[in-house]
Amino acid sequence: MSGQMDLFQDPLPPPDPALVQLAAVIPPHVRFGTSSWTFEGWKDLVYRKRYPTKQAFVRQSLREYAAHPLFATVGVDRSFYAPLGREEWEAQAAQLPPGFRVCSKVWSELTTRVFPRHERYGDRAGQPNPFFLDPPRFIETVLVPMLEGLGAHAGPLIFEVTPSPTVTEPRAFATAIDRFLRAVPREAHVAFELREPALFTDAYLAALRRHPHASHVLNLHTRMPTVREQLERGGLVAETCVCRLMLPPGKRYAEMKEAYAPFDRIAAPLPEMREDVLALIEACRGAAELFVLVNNKVEGSSPLTVRALVEAISSSTRTPPPSTR
């Protein structure tokens, strides 16, 4: 660990004074961040330090990301594909300042009800997953290593519920959520992100409300209702709220990735989405801590979307000049 700490003795470039001033308008109950952080196209937007290799950038850039004035959280997507061990979480925690929180995805082997019909799943394609929402496996492979490694930096654990190739009965799904939450400890907050509108039911929300350590992820994703619609249907269910802005309605991940790379500009602003986030911020005021995670595929560059959202907060809180009439 000492070698790693020596590595971090190099000073970071000083923060942009304009961003420091802008950050002052972020309400204390709101944390903005991005979905992952290792994008070389963010040079000069987020990263001004020069890294000798791409590998060094991937290993070391979280420290500079976390020093950005507008960011107080980050989403870890890599843990969706395989669980991270305690040492990996510790290496990330070593780069973070006090008070910074990490939102991490839960391993897909625990969030997939039926394996998609895709060649990468081999013989399991189209088959039920025996470990869907399995409490012992979740605790052993995900929860304990994350809590031990991140410590005070641990934020919500995000269960991205993979769309099923077969019909999921909504009430059975809600029952499975309730059963899982009864069996897992409350040391960390867990948030469920749906990709199938049919699962966003009153029974599902009622199951979450029975467990203070659980909530619904209000997401912008291709087939889901808008963030505002989810909010108006009761999506704010706990004192911790996660909002993930992922894909515009009707769009596909690969399509947006190709169109927007290298993610260094706003390509297609979504004013309605921004207004929905402002409404959510107000709904959470005095009621919940809000984590807002932004993906590049929403508008083209998540750091610039975050900046636009903070600028919108600033505009909405300015006192209008007195009338001269």
* Domain ranges within the chain, ordered by starting residue: 26-316
Query: CA-CA distance, 26 to 281, in Å (whole number)?
Result: 10
Q: What is the dihedral of CA 166, 241, 184, 196, to 10 degrees?
A: 0
Q: Closest Cα to residue 296, out of 255, 251, 261, 254?
A: 261
Could you tell me whether strands 101-105 and 30-34 are parallel, antiparallel, or unpaired per DSSP bridges? unpaired
Helices 202-209 and 170-183: crossing angle in degrees, nearest 10, is 10
Per the CB < 8 A criterion, the answer to whether 59 and 53 are in contact is: no
Model pTM score: 0.94
Q: Pull the structure tokens for residue 41.
A: 């196209």
Which one is the CATH code of 26-316: 3.30.565.10, 3.40.190.10, 3.20.20.410, 3.10.560.10?
3.20.20.410
Q: Pull the structure tokens for residue 109.
A: 């082997």
Per the CB < 8 A criterion, the answer to whether 291 and 155 are in contact is: yes
- pLDDT tens sequence for the chain (325 residues): 434 444 445 899 999 999 999 999 999 999 999 999 999 999 999 999 999 999 999 999 999 999 999 999 999 999 999 999 999 999 999 999 999 999 999 999 999 999 888 888 888 988 999 999 999 999 999 999 999 999 999 999 999 999 988 888 999 999 999 999 999 999 999 999 999 999 999 999 999 999 999 999 999 999 999 999 999 999 999 999 999 999 999 999 999 999 999 999 999 999 999 999 999 999 999 999 999 999 999 999 999 999 999 999 999 876 454 444 4
Query: CA-CA distance, 207 to 184, in Å (whole number)?
Result: 14
